[in-house]
Amino acid sequence: KAGVTQTPRYLIKTRGQQVTLSCSPISGHRSVSWYQQTPGQGLQFLFEYFSETQRNKGNFPGRFSGRQFSNSRSEMNVSTLELGDSALYLCASGLTMRETQYFGPGTRLLVL
């Protein structure tokens, strides 16, 4: 069974630009969560989706948004990028929100 996939794997952007990251969950999984990982702040929760609905949202500014499609694939968007948005963005999927979450390889974003 294929694991969680994330695209792109690496991304370089400049301040002010916007970016869209994609996550394809494990087949059959309907829950998708997003996390931001930085050396200083560690792993911080961004959003959680289940059945195309956002169930939880972390304490991030409105520049961070996301959505989930009917096939459970999810995207997150960051607008007006700032230097501090440089991070590893991890997506995790689970059968439901209460089942083990399996993480994808991540998208490493560098904002210059």
| Rounded least distance, CB 94 to another protein, Å | 9
Which of residues 12, 43, 83, 110 is near another protein by CB under 8 A?
43
Q: Figure out which of the listed residues 11, 26, 95, 97 binds another protein, where binding follows CB under 8 A.
A: 97
Contacts of another protein in 8-27 (CB under 8 A):
none
Under rule CB under 8 A, residue 1 binds another protein: no
Q: Is 66 in the site for another protein (CB under 8 A)?
A: no
- Residue 87 CA to residue 58 CA, distance in Å, equals 16
Which of 13, 26, 58, 86: binder of another protein (CB under 8 A)?
58
Cα 86 to Cα 40: distance, rounded to the nearest angstrom: 11
Task: Answer yes or no: are the C-beta atoms of 102 and 4 closer than 8 Å.
Answer: yes
CA 48 centroid distance within chain = 9
Answer whether 45's CB lies under 8 Å from 56's CB.
yes
